Structure 1
Amino acid sequence: MIEVQSQLNKIESFLPKIHVTNEKVSKASVGWHLEHSLLILNGSLKGLTMTNPDNYNPKSSIKKFVFLNFGLIPRGKIKSPKQFIPLETPTKESVEKFLNLAKERLEAVKNLSAKSYITHPFLGDLDKKATLIFLRLHTNHHLKIVDDILKH
């Protein structure tokens, strides 16, 4: 949870650079990557609060094992569900709104049952701990892209 909070602080530090682009690294702007990450964070954190822990049904898979243990996400190879793609060009205000919501939702999941879960479209049911690992890895993936956009 501390790692995700730290990532939210890093996202906040990038707010002045949301319009920066670099086609050699990504077709999307810094703001797009930040807003996309926040949409995933907000959707997943809300999802944890909406599931019944009694219905948690974990299943093992190679994809789940590799991702949660090694954090490998190939760039440009996985298509995000439509609800997690920014609808318009992100603005400082839109990113700030999603950022503040993520901070609130992160705080709200602290006291949830360990068996609170989300159902990920590729990885299946992820309990609270695995969801936070997923969020940390996914956000880190996009923060690395942002770092690369800003380097070049």
Structure 2
Amino acid sequence: MQNLQNLISQLESKISQFETTNLAVSGGSVGWHIEHSLKTIDQIVTACKNSNPSDYQWHFNFKRFLILTVAKKIPRGKAKAPKIVRPEGEINGDTLAVSVTKVRENLIGWKALDKNANFPHPFFGILNKKETERFLILHTKHHLIIIKDILKS
């Protein structure tokens, strides 16, 4: 999870530029992408903490295999964020800082979770702890790349 902690720090370092937009890159601002990434991490970690590890059963999923194992990259513009992880309301430096703190607190205890702690991903099926961590890293990197492209303008 150290890799994800480093990515969260990278998101945090962009908070001062939260208002920056570039519609040629994304309809969302830097702040939107930061908040979406943090909200995704928070929701998924909470789902894993609340899951029943004995319910997990591995099933092959081609999309999961292709994205998480082969490509190791999320294609841009191919999916829409589920409503539960779309930022709503005002986004500013203070709200983003609160979100960073909340996510870091929620990640406490991640290591102690059972290896079959899980959450249902809308495209990849049910992911166990290892797959979830891999997804969270790829997803956060995906949004950091978008943020970097927004800031290039």
User: Normalising by the residue count of structure 1, what TM-score does the alignment of the two structures yield?
Assistant: 0.96
Q: Per-residue CA shift, 1:105-133, capped at 9, x if unaligned?
A: 11221111111111111111111111010
Determine the C-alpha separation between the residues in 2 that align with 1:108 and 1:94.
Answer: 24
Any gaps of 5 or more consecutive residues in structure 1? none
- State whether residues 32 and 89 of structure 1, in contact with CA within 8 Å, keep that contact through their aligned partners in structure 2: no
Q: Where do residues 3-22 of structure 1 align in structure 2 (5 Å cutoff)?
A: 3-22=3-22
* Identity across matched positions, percent: 38
Determine the C-alpha separation between the residues in 2 that align with 1:25 and 1:43.
Answer: 26
Determine the C-alpha separation between the residues in 2 that align with 1:67 and 1:93.
Answer: 34
User: 1:86 is aligned with what amino acid?
Assistant: P
Determine the C-alpha separation between the residues in 1 that align with 2:112 and 2:50.
Answer: 14
Determine the C-alpha separation between the residues in 2 that align with 1:133 and 1:73.
Answer: 12
How many residues end up aligned between the 2 structures? 152
User: Normalising by the residue count of structure 2, what TM-score does the alignment of the two structures yield?
Assistant: 0.95
Partner of 2:34: 34
Q: How far is 1:93 from its partner?
A: 1.6
Any gaps of 5 or more consecutive residues in structure 2? none
| RMSD, aligned α-carbons | 1.0
Q: How far is 1:97 from its partner?
A: 1.5
Determine the C-alpha separation between the residues in 2 that align with 1:139 and 1:15.
Answer: 15
Q: Per-residue CA shift, 1:37-77, capped at 9, x if unaligned?
A: 01100000111100010000221111010111122322122
SS in 1 for 2:40: helix
